[in-house]
Amino acid sequence: MSEQMPAIAIIGAQWGDEGKGKATDLLGNRVDYVVKFNGGNNAGHTVVIGDQKYALHLLPSGILTPGCTPVIGNGVVVDLAVLFEEIDGLEARGVDTSLLKVSANAHVIADYNRSLDKVTERFLGSRRIGTTGRGIGPTYADKMNRVGIPIQDIFDEKILTQKVEGVLELKNQILTKIYNRRSATVEQTVEELLAFAERLHPMVCDTGLLLNQALDRGETVLLEAGQATLLDVDHGTYPFVTSSSATAGGACTGSGIPPMRMDQVIGIVKAYTTRVGEGPFPTELSDDFGEHLRKVGAEYGTTTGRPRRCGWYDSVIARYAARVNGVTDFVLTKLDVLTGLEKVPVCVAYDVNGVRHDEMPVNQSDFHHAVPIYEDFPGWWEDISAAKTFEDLPKNAKDYVLAVEKMSGARISAIGVGPDRDATIVVHELI
């Protein structure tokens, strides 16, 4: 037997959109399997290859690497219509998707989940969470309530019908009596799901077994998180979070790979901070600087197109993410966006009602009232997009990276200096 390989997790260390696709790309041809282990089509990766731009929502970004097996793990919730739409879109552009594997235990998003997501969010009004309305949360709630529909049920019409009947007894009461909406019919729901069965069947397998056997053979498995640490349902800024585990721990439960087999966790941080949706955000800028970061960094959602909220780098959050995930390496993305600023502030701690916090406050209301304590670093004007090594960076850019590294709780192993696929400085090899 060849030497056992460790599994590697890539996680977002802020509120998402940090550029995880870029890090996955960096490992690209040295990875045999790329696994999506959480979330659904509520988040997107944008991958730029040459002059081609690919927006992926449900598929793992490894789908773009020839010879790499993309896997949708058991921790994912799957909108089957979106899955096939995305596959067809890639196939039409000449991308081979034939290696895709899907866990039999991943849950499917049914029409009633989407309806409930949209109407509940509207009903919450000013207390809304800022969900994407794609049925993700309600599907995870069904899974926890043990009334969800795993993919394997689609291949047994009798079981599927029974389950849909059971779940709709309650859902239809909620839809009609509370929200004054049309009820969903069992026939229509079953028919909609069964329509995908034949095409889906060859892709479905025991993905946990597949991945563990791959590790036994000495192959490299990359676990790629959707969303990010501060959107994790357990460790994020609850309730303004996603409904799944987006941390390194979630990589194990969402894929069936045990913790002992994962010895590298790559955390992705942007050289500043962004957030989409509602919820507290201490370093948020509502001034010209915020607008500058949004414009220069093209900060608009891959999936929704909505403008992202922007703020300075927050080292408190980075330290928290390093701790919760056991980050071994950080990839710092979008350093080029900071070029041309007179000075670049970094949040080093919070002031909460006159008390300094160097770590995340215990409760959400303190975090909500946290005022950032900044340290300013001198900016740089030189174009860094062609830099190939750390030494190529201007002194002030190097100083900024080293300062951020010291505050963030793990080494910075790669630095993104431009939007292109290869505009990345590798400081330490990631594999």
Distances (CA, A) of 185 to 155, 169, 188: 20, 10, 5
Told to judge if 51 belongs to the known catalytic residues of this protein, a careful annotator would answer no
Distances (CA, A) of 151 to 146, 242, 288: 14, 21, 48
Contacts of 125 (CB under 8 A, 6+ apart): none
Q: Pick the catalytic residue: 25, 32, 45, 314?
A: 45
| Residue with the two structure tokens 């550029």 | 19
Contacts of 58 (CB under 8 A, 6+ apart): 36, 40, 41, 72, 76, 78, 79, 82, 83, 86
SS3 label, residue 101: strand
Told to judge if 45 belongs to the known catalytic residues of this protein, a careful annotator would answer yes
SS3 label, residue 13: coil
Q: How far apart are CA 427 and CA 419, in angstroms?
A: 18
Q: How far apart are CA 128 and CA 126, in angstroms?
A: 5
Tokens read off for 276: 């989409």
Residue 116: which of 132, 138, 131, 147 has the closest Cα?
Answer: 138
E strand or H helix that includes residue 387: none
The one-character DSSP state at 224 is E
For the annotated catalytic residues, the residue numbers are 17, 45
